Structure 1
Amino acid sequence: MASLPIRLIVGLGNPGQQYESTRHNAGFWLADHYADDLKTQFTLETGFFGQLARARHDGQAVYLLKPATYMNRSGQSVGTVARFFKIESEQVLVLHDELDLPPGDVKLKKGGGHAGHNGLRDIQTTLGTADYWRLRLGIGHPRDRGLAQGVADYVLSMPGKEEMPLIDYEINSARQILISLLDGDFAAASRRLAALRQASP
């Protein structure tokens, strides 16, 4: 039996041109693609502290959000939208960069800790629960990649040329499970991601 369908998709990132192409904005990148897939567009809505796009799936309203509050205040925007539209925490999907997965890998997860991710930490505090879905977009860890760069500098830097095809692959993989997520069929979404992981470049 399917779980409650996703009604709010949140892409995490930092606003501003200087951050557009940085690893920490991977959630924004995927959110933009999801908006295209749902044939909708983001509009800045200051009352929701971010850019909001509205769509419909199977007769239900679906919202896409890119907080404009900077990463460590993402919860303010997410909480405001969830309360206004009466969306349960388990109907929220957060798209975010993940240091603990290599570039090219993407995994779906419900609940758990924030693993030091400031955006997740603030959302968890605001919602009062960790019981929401996350789509973890691998960007790799500088330590595992033999880089001397600190984590903060790494996530706020642009991916290298060798990383971009892998990141494009994971974003395209995530796009293939959008309908399953909106249907609440998370088992099918996870199976599809696992199959795509096996075929990754």
Structure 2
Amino acid sequence: MTKMLVGLGNPGEKYTATKHNMGFMALDLLAEDFGLSFKQDKTFMSEIAETFVNGEKVYLIKPLTFMNESGRAVQPLLAYYNIDPEDLTVIFDDMDSPVGRLRLRQKGKSGGHNGIKSILNHIGTEKFNHVKIGIGRPKGVMSVVNHVLSKFDDEDAQPAQEGLGKAVDAMKTYLDSNDFMKAMNGFNE
């Protein structure tokens, strides 16, 4: 069995620590816990780290295609490593949840999230694990684009960090138990 964890985000310094990069940030923390470092793979347009957990191969993937084209990186990787979509977990920001709230699902539609929309279009199924980390709705008159591409303000920084920590703990539970439902039951809010 092989598992693939994909964190969604946008590459480049200007997007580091923005709300839309919650998937990248969660995978960075998970890689740090496992003592892994990412290597850029130009063929697959991704940064990739790999390890074994309980004898199972696990790939951590950060697509470098920019959010709206995430599926262009994910689909070829699934095919190359012969990974069933049900062994794919995608970690991403969720504007429909309060900052830091964690929601895990075994399948789902895009909910308007362009990164998920791209993956759905490229792999042709919604039957993959979703880990959504809440980033809240835009405050005041801020546009959705400006909201997701901005960093957390002082009020939201702590809950966002806690959400990332919960996402990492949920992924470790999933990998240790080989049971996404166990992670769902333990971490869904």
> Shorter-chain TM-score category?
over 0.9
1:38 alignment counterpart: 34
**Given residue 80 of structure 2, which amino acid in structure 1 is its aligned partner?**
F
**1:81 matched residue in structure 2:** 77
Helix, strand or coil at the partner of 1:122: helix
State the Cα distance separating 1:186 from its structure 2 match: 2.2
Which residues in structure 2 correspond to 1:1-201 (within 5 Å)?
Answer: 7-142=3-138, 145=139, 147-182=140-175, 183-194=177-188, 197=189
SS at match of 1:177: helix
> Structure 1 stretches of 5 or more lacking a match?
none
CA contact (8 A) 1:12 1:95 kept: yes
Q: Distance in 1 between matches of 2:77 and 2:180?
A: 23
Instruction: Give yes or no for contact 1:7–1:63 (8 Å, CA) kept in 2.
Output: yes
Q: CA–CA distance in 2 between the matches of 1:124 and 1:58?
A: 29
Task: Work out the number of aligned pairs and report it.
Answer: 188
Check conservation: 2:20, 2:93, Cα contact below 8 A. yes
Render the CA deviation track for 1:11-64: whole Å, top value 9, x for unaligned.
Answer: 000001011121000110001011112221100000111100011111111000
Supply the distance in 2 between the matched residues of 1:179 and 1:135 (Cα, whole angstroms): 13
Structure-1-length-normalised TM-score: 0.89
Following TM superposition, by how much is the alpha carbon of 1:6 offset from its aligned partner in structure 2, in angstroms?
A: 6.8
Counterpart of 1:75, as a letter, is: G
Give distance in 2, aligned partners of 1:176 and 1:21. 20
TM-score of the superposed pair, with normalisation by structure 2: 0.95
Identity rate, percent: 32
Shift of residue 134 of structure 1?
Answer: 0.8
Structure 2: how far apart are the matches of 1:68 and 1:176? 25
AA in 1 matched with 2:183: A
Shift in CA distance, 95/155, structure 1 to aligned 2, threshold 3 Å: same
Give deviations 1:149-201, integer Å, cap 9, x for gaps. 1111110111101101001111111222223212332232122214xx5xxxx
Q: CA separation in 2, counterparts of 1:158 and 1:178?
A: 24
Aligned mates of 2:144, 2:75 — CA distance in 1: 27
